Structure 1
Amino acid sequence: MDRRHLRWMIPAAGAVLAVVVSIVLVMQDSGNAACAAPPAPLSLAREPVVENVRGGSASYYSTNRNGMCNLGAPSSDGYAAIGPAEWAGGAACGSYLAVTGPNGQTTNVQVVDQCPSCPAGKIDLSKAAFARIGAVSAGIIQITYGTVRDPALPGPLKVRAQGGKGYSSLSVVLDNHGNRLSTVELQAGDGWTPLKHNTDNTWTGPSGLTGPITLRITDTAGHQVTVPGVALGSSAFQQTGTLMYSPAAASPSPSPSPSPSASPSPSAAASPVAAAATTGPPIC
């Protein structure tokens, strides 16, 4: 090989080596930064999801009385009564439905009552809820509806607990739980005694209790909370300070940043799982 070719190859090889070294250093720096500062865990809160969507029909009614769910007079104008098949022995009490009407609007309603004459697929809405999704003059409208998982909660749990002196058994009614409930348990020493759910939406248990009680409540979405200090004997609901689950996470929105280059892009922040799948795990 003559000297002219050799002189050309030596600088070229040096340039290639410099590029390789730069890439390696960048990868090491990135890996070390990721290892030193792992991303914050995602919030456990979930956006509400509508499940088991089906078609049906709706009429309307109005009430200010205590329905078959024993939740008292409706606390809002968004409530519903459903037929025995969907009532499921009272299991649907206190849960929420998302109902879409002929005008394309959707409204959420709480199940507070049973409609004994309603077949599967037919529900009775409050007049106000009906008016939000269709014309009241129609009387009956075609709808689609489904159960809302993790609906927005109106507030912390409310509990009515009757028992103790003068009562043959403990009787508990719960409200503001959002999803259907799967179990309600009474603390007994170091253990928990399951209460029985009845078709009138009461949870019943042992007699002879004294003083405040502690309840453990679990819903069908897997949320579980413990509520201590529940007084006995009152016919009114007690307002607790316990939320059944965290409020739904807000949708990501861009925010001003004084140093755009120092913060991740909105898409990367909104989808950490996708970003990890693209770049691969850091080498620590």
Structure 2
Amino acid sequence: MSTTKHGAAHRRGHNRGKTVGIPVALSAAAALVCLVFAVLPGGGAATGGPAGATVGAPAAGSTAGSGSSAPAAGAPSDPAQPSASAPASPSSSASPSASVPARASASAAAKPAAPAAAPAGGRIRPGVGYQGVATAYEAADGNGACLFGPSGDMMIAAMNHTDYETSRACGAYVRIKASNGASITVRIVNECPLPCAPGQIDLSQQAFAELADLKVGRLPITWSLLSPADAPQTLSVRYQTGSSQYWCAIQVIGHRNPVAALEVQTGTGWRQLPRTGYNYFTAADGKGCGARIRITDLYGEQLTVDGIAVRANVVQATPVQFSRH
């Protein structure tokens, strides 16, 4: 754009010279005077000034001003390429360089504020309704894959393999409503292996009979997680048979809400233990066995328990219980 304007000015000056008819000698003298002014200090400022202004503020619509530094209006911007305006206005909320760190900072600050999302992470979630089918099995004394032991209340059930999810469903209270309108609450103490389908719950015969005649066999149901008011007042902890200071496995019993994680305190801080399909959390190297225990439920609530010694296969009561939701 600047080159085009300079050429037009040059052509206009050339036409004026021909119109007035200045003598050749006078023209030569005038040219000599211009040359003298050009070499004096400050000479050329008039011609250099406009050129500099053009570079510093390109005209709207110029090719140089609409290159990679600023995408055309309506064109998608490349997130990997910060716009030219970003360095000029770092405090502006609209600039990419300011908004990206702001999002990262907000995300980091939000993580501690929502602990429930991290431990939950399973298939069964609070406030969600599930569809499936109810079947029945002979529950005997009520013991099952969760290894809680005999049950005094036969309103119990086995969760299908998929939703059992490596014992995450153990101890969960589930509200079941049948297609005929009948409903019951059961506690998950067992696993229904494949081919039990996702959503299917295998009820004790006693529980199924509360919904329909056992001859029905398969009953369409809807179900959801429950945080009951009539759960045990406190939960208990049990070390598995064979546990010692060199190896241990820990189980939580009588919890109102499903247990999402279990940690033990070591010399370097809290250590989360892996969970087994038979509902124990194991410390294969013994680190943390007999130390403080921290238990997290599906909602993110954490309870810390002291004074639980390594006493194999002994149910040890605690003074704590998860809140009702």
What TM-score does the superposition give when structure 1 sets the normalisation length?
Answer: 0.62
What SS is found at the alignment partner of 2:206?
helix
Counterparts in 2 of 1:164 and 1:145: CA distance versus 1, 3 Å? closer
Q: Quote the residue 2:208 is aligned against.
A: 130
Find the structure with the greater CA-based Rg: 2
Closer/same/farther in 2, CA of residues 72 and 164 from structure 1, 3 Å limit:
closer
| Map of 2:192 onto structure 1 | 115
Q: How does 1:114-193 map to 2 (within 5 A)?
A: 114-117=191-194, 118-148=196-226, 150-152=227-229, 153-162=231-240, 168-189=246-267, 191-193=269-271
| TM-superposed deviation, 1:231 | 2.1
Change (3 A) 1:180 1:211: closer
Cα gap change, 1:89/1:212 in structure 2, threshold over 3 Å: closer, same or farther? closer
The corresponding residue for 1:6 is none
The structure-2 alpha-carbon separation of the partners of 1:190 and 1:244, relative to structure 1 and needing over 3 Å to count, comes to farther
Which is strand-richer, 1 or 2? 1
Give how far 1:190 is off.
6.8
Report whether the alignment pairs 1:228 with 2:313: no
User: In the alignment, is the contact (CA less than 8 A) between 1:82 and 1:115 conserved in 2?
Assistant: yes
CA distance in 1, matches of 2:264, 2:289: 13
Percent sequence identity over aligned pairs = 31
Asked if 1:96 is matched to 2:187, the reply is no
Aligned to 2:281: 203
- Residues 145 and 232 from structure 1, CA distance in 2 versus in 1: closer, same or farther, beyond 3 angstroms? same
Cα displacement string for residues 2-58 of structure 1 (whole angstroms, at most 9, x for unaligned residues): xxxxxxxxxxxxxxxxxxxxxxxxxxxxxxxxxxxxxxxxxxxxxxx9632122211
User: Residue type of the partner of 2:161?
Assistant: P
Deviation at 1:168, TM superposition (A): 4.7
Match of 1:4? none
Match of 1:13?
none
Change beyond 3 A, Cα 1:103–1:236: farther
What's the CA shift for 1:134? 1.9
Which structure 1 segments of 5+ residues have no match? 1-48, 249-284
Please, what TM-score do these two structures have when normalized by structure 2? 0.55
Alignment RMSD, CA only?
2.6
| 1:83 equivalent in alignment to 2:160 | yes
Any gaps of 5 or more consecutive residues in structure 2?
Answer: 1-124
Change over 3 Å in CA distance of 1:77–1:228 after alignment to 2 = same
Query: Larger relative CO (CA 8 A, sep 6+): 1 or 2?
Result: 1
The runs of at least 4 aligned residues of structure 1 exceeding 6 Å deviation read none
